Chains A and B, each alone.
Chain A
């Protein structure tokens, strides 16, 4: 049934079929992603509401379930205001540059055994390169707004993101050492081996156990990279209002918003893939599949919201201290430990 449908479609489009096929895959990926972003904002308001003994949004639609749709419509119909002294071209490019890498990174993510849009042999490198571009959206927006708070926000953001990328990169080096590959499929497969996996206790053979400090460092750095609370000095509303987003309104603001939430989901997926076995099932008697990846990512997304409801904002010098004086040394020491461990007779990765 499926096969014949594909063949009919392929015959219909002729030589354009490969391009159409890729576009179809992108649409199939983007629609759930955008819905997930919309309902993540809803979940955030609801969950933080319950944590603060409030109800959260409950008016639009049954139990408030249409709230994100209403928000999106409102932002669509609002006017995009250009400050008179702003650099017009760059002012428009800023939010676009913020959203593009946030969506582009999803190309490299594996969703299951053989499920991908692009299976690159240097997938992790590609992902690091794309996520390192995210800072441009913020810098360009901050500078092009031609006003003081956005500029301060952009400066804080670029310093913070560049600092935490170092710790993230070092944490990933250990994962790559263990997998012996830059390919996402290989990284997940490398977590399905070992004594525990054969005993049917797959969750003990995932990377989080031997690399526990790095899993923690990676996720916290991920929170810092996405500029979420408690690392949200970029838009610290008590000091610089909303940082680089001050001057933006309507859809231009919505693009920053989309990028931030898409990045949160991305970091959750990546933590699940690098340290928690991706789509692998935690126990032997249950089948692997995409649902495991989604469940694991959902747990990390909940952590994002929980952090926001729990921790007060870091001061700027505390952020820099945590990144450079705590996380980078931890990752360097663990890199040394893992290399020695791998070369010793006690290695568990043979």
Chain B
């Protein structure tokens, strides 16, 4: 077996095991950490495909930022496992239906034309930069979809902030500009005092 194949199967196995861990383990924090591991091994597989930009972006965005916030929230939840189990049997039929639909969809996609066995692409030259390639395509061919996606994200961000923003009147805000303007003479007085004698 080639070295690349060994690496692929190693990271593939880790990714699958970690993904299983996400849905199997009870502790939500452990599940989130397994998800981090799954992301990480997927990034390693992308590196094998010489897609270094996507691989590093996956680690940077999902592992470095999204999952940190995720963990942040999950760690503060107080989850009672027994209460989660309630209603298991009543929700089972709906769950099975959704699962069946998902399985059919995946079978359709995976057996479809897109997933036929492609011939292995020729290896890229050592100095090829797929960051530059992605940038070139993104800002020329896909310029409009890219801009629209950016705008949608911006709107979502503003909406999220404005939804959670509460203006409270009874809070005493500090104004840093005012604090900086304060002079020493307004707060402190140096007085000369004659020495006291007994």
Residues of chain A touching chain B, judged by Cβ–Cβ distance below 8 Å, are: 90, 120-122, 125-126, 128-129, 132-133, 135-136, 139-140, 143, 151, 154-155, 158-159, 162, 165, 182, 317-318, 321
Contacts and interface: CB of A to CB of B under 8 A. Distances in A.
Nearest to A101: B64
B59 A132 contact: yes
20 contacts: A121-B129, A121-B131, A122-B53, A122-B129, A128-B60, A129-B56, A133-B63, A133-B64, A139-B68, A139-B72, A139-B75, A140-B33, A151-B75, A154-B75, A162-B65, A165-B65, A182-B129, A317-B174, A318-B176, A321-B176
Which of A120, A133, A165 has most B Cβ within 10 Å? Answer: A133
Interface in B33-84: 33, 36, 52-53, 56-57, 59-60, 63-65, 68-69, 71-72, 75
B2 interface: no
B68 A122 contact: no
Contacts of B129: 121-122, 182
A158 B56 contact: no
Interface string B142-161: 00000000000000000000
A299 to B, nearest CB: 29
A139 B127 contact: no
A136 B62 CA distance: 13
A165 B33 contact: no
A125 B56 contact: yes
Contacts of A125: 52-53, 56-57, 60, 131
A116 B34 CA distance: 33
B60 A122 contact: no
A295 to B, nearest CB: 31
Nearest to B59: A129
A143 B76 CA distance: 10
A155 B71 CA distance: 10
Given A132-B60, A155-B72, A121 B52 contact: yes
Given A122-B129, A128-B64, 13 more contacts: A90-B30, A90-B33, A125-B56, A126-B56, A129-B60, A129-B63, A132-B63, A133-B63, A133-B64, A139-B75, A154-B75, A158-B71, A182-B131
A135 B59 CA distance: 13
Interface in B153-181: 174, 176
Nearest to B69: A162
Nearest to B72: A158
A312 B130 CA distance: 46
B52 A120 contact: yes
A132 B65 contact: yes
Contacts of A143: 29, 71, 75
B34 to A, nearest CB: 12
Interface in B13-43: 29-30, 33, 36
B131 A129 contact: no
A139 B36 CA distance: 13
Contacts of B176: 318, 321
B60 to A, nearest CB: 4
Contacts of A158: 68, 71-72
A300 B131 CA distance: 31
B36 A136 contact: yes
Contact of B59 (A133, A151, A159): A133
Contacts of A317: 174
Nearest to B63: A133
A128 B52 CA distance: 13
A129 B52 contact: no
A122 B52 contact: yes
Contacts of A165: 64-65
A120 B131 CA distance: 12
Contacts of A128: 56, 60, 64
Contacts of B63: 129, 132-133
B133 to A, nearest CB: 11
Nearest to A127: B56
Contacts of B128: 121
Contacts of A140: 33
Contacts of B53: 122, 125
B33 A162 contact: no
Nearest to B174: A317
A6 to B, nearest CB: 22
Given A125-B56, A125-B131, A132 B75 contact: no
A162 B67 CA distance: 11
B43 to A, nearest CB: 8
B64 A122 contact: no
